Structure 1
Amino acid sequence: MKGRAVNLNKDDYTVLQLDIIKELANVGGGNAATSISQLISKRVDMTVPTIDVLNYNEIYEKIMPDDEMVNAVIMRMFGDAEGIFLFITTDDASIKLIDMMLPDDFKLTEEIGASAIKELVNIIVTSYLNAISKMMSINLISSVPSYTVDMFGAILSSAYMESEQYDENVMIIKNQFIYQGDKIESALYFVPKPGVLSNLFKIIGV
């Protein structure tokens, strides 16, 4: 993965802080692609993730309407920082990712498809958390992934409603997998608890 891409529009992040976020996404994404390739014994690449930080209402205005049906995998982050990860894909992208994860001519069932997507997201989130933990010398762990199909707004709202303490801002990491010449888009949403990002920056002195 070469280069970096970012589209953060919140004025309260310094240039150095944005650079750190980009580097963590770059390292985590690269590690995820390597781990997935090793698991399925197939070549999988990921483009440099693009990053955005939007508030709750901006997401529906700029990214996706609240009534669009999506496939989602939910994972929670615990330890020295807390938040929720939401991995969001369309039906078409999910089918392609499932095909990528499973052996050729494998008999697909709904349960196996959900398990394949959950394993994919588990690798991605774990790769990001490992990159953050190593860089900042902190302890971060994730929950077991859960899978659901629902309207995008309902899924995102549930992440906020689970705890009134979650921050208004959401970090969106858009991943593009490249498998057998086909580009498959997905997005990883991170809903942090208030102060999580600023506290992490303080730990490393920026």
Structure 2
Amino acid sequence: MNLDKEKKDILKEIANIGAGNAATAFSTMVDQETKITVPRIELMPIEELPEITGSQEDYIACTLINFDGELSGKILLVLEMDSVEKILHLLFGEGELPGTEIRNSALRELGNILSGAYLKAINIFSDLNLSQGLPAVAYDMAGAVLSSSVIDYSQSGDEIILLETEFIISEKKLELYYFFIPEEKSIDILFQHLMGDNLA
């Protein structure tokens, strides 16, 4: 996959709008103003995914969502556990957190809202009609959970697109790693729709 400056600029604009949509939705969830940093766009070798947080031994939470339509693939959201804890306290207050089932339900809903916000931006820019499935939530060391996920990405080629954004709520920073992983045959279709005659 060749991610030149023009393609990167388009993805950054999509990421800005997607993150803005996500921040608005998240503000509604927690009833607090949410700010965002400028997203970082990176084309990343898929084998480096288990080290995205710095170490394969870092304990993380992630949601995995399939999307389909004119394109198909997966959306992966990765959060370090300190960000997960901050989010849960924003949702449920500073006291004792609810049980595992309710926490997982909250993270699935968060993943559903955030991925939907980005997917909506992609749909608008590309004039595609992509829809998402139900999110699955997993907790484990990054090396274990992300390596097992990579097995399912074998049709996605050797590289994936990372859109990294920080959400800032009441001076709390929440770092979000958002991976848009179209199947290999879908990536050319995506950029054809995004760039039209400008596609090199």
Q: Same fold (TM over 0.5)?
A: yes
CA distance in 2, matches of 1:61, 1:115: 26
Matches within 5 A, 1:148-163: 148-162=138-152
Find 2:89's aligned residue among 66, 88, 99: 99
Q: 1:113 to 1:19 in 2, by over 3 A?
A: same
Match of 1:183 in 2: 173
Q: Deviations over 1:140-180 (max 9, x none)?
A: 11111111112222322333322531221121221211111
Gaps of 5+ in 1: 1-9
CA distance in 2, matches of 1:70, 1:113: 14
Q: CA deviation at 1:103?
A: 5.1
Gaps of 5+ in 2: none
Q: CA deviation at 1:138?
A: 0.9
Give 3-state SS (helix, strand or coil) of 2:146's partner: helix
Contact 1:102 1:116 in 2 (8 A): no
CA distance in 2, matches of 1:101, 1:176: 18
Aligned letter for 2:103? G
Find 2:19's aligned residue among 16, 20, 29: 29
Q: Does 1:72 align with 2:62?
A: yes
Q: 1:153 to 1:189 in 2, by over 3 A?
A: farther
Find 1:202's aligned residue among 185, 192, 196: 192
CA distance in 2, matches of 1:66, 1:112: 27
Q: 1:59 to 1:72 in 2, by over 3 A?
A: closer
CA distance in 1, matches of 2:63, 2:114: 11
Contact 2:46 2:150 in 1 (8 A): no
Contact 2:89 2:97 in 1 (8 A): no
Match of 1:141 in 2: 131
Contact 2:50 2:142 in 1 (8 A): no
Give 3-state SS (helix, strand or coil) of 1:158's partner: helix
Contact 1:43 1:179 in 2 (8 A): yes
Q: 1:111 to 1:19 in 2, by over 3 A?
A: same
How much is the aligned-residue C-alpha RMSD, in angstroms?
2.2
Match of 1:115 in 2: 105
Q: 1:47 to 1:101 in 2, by over 3 A?
A: farther
Match of 2:116 in 1: 126
Among all aligned residue pairs of Structure 1 and Structure 2, give the percentage whose two residues are the same amino acid.
29
Q: 1:180 to 1:58 in 2, by over 3 A?
A: same
Q: 1:122 to 1:60 in 2, by over 3 A?
A: closer
Contact 1:159 1:191 in 2 (8 A): no
Match of 2:78 in 1: 88
Which protein is richer in helix relative to its size? 2
Contact 1:167 1:191 in 2 (8 A): no
CA distance in 2, matches of 1:19, 1:160: 27
Q: What is the number of residues matched between the two proteins? A: 196
Contact 1:52 1:173 in 2 (8 A): yes
Find 1:13's aligned residue among 3, 25, 36: 3
Give 3-state SS (helix, strand or coil) of 2:54's partner: coil
CA distance in 1, matches of 2:67, 2:16: 19
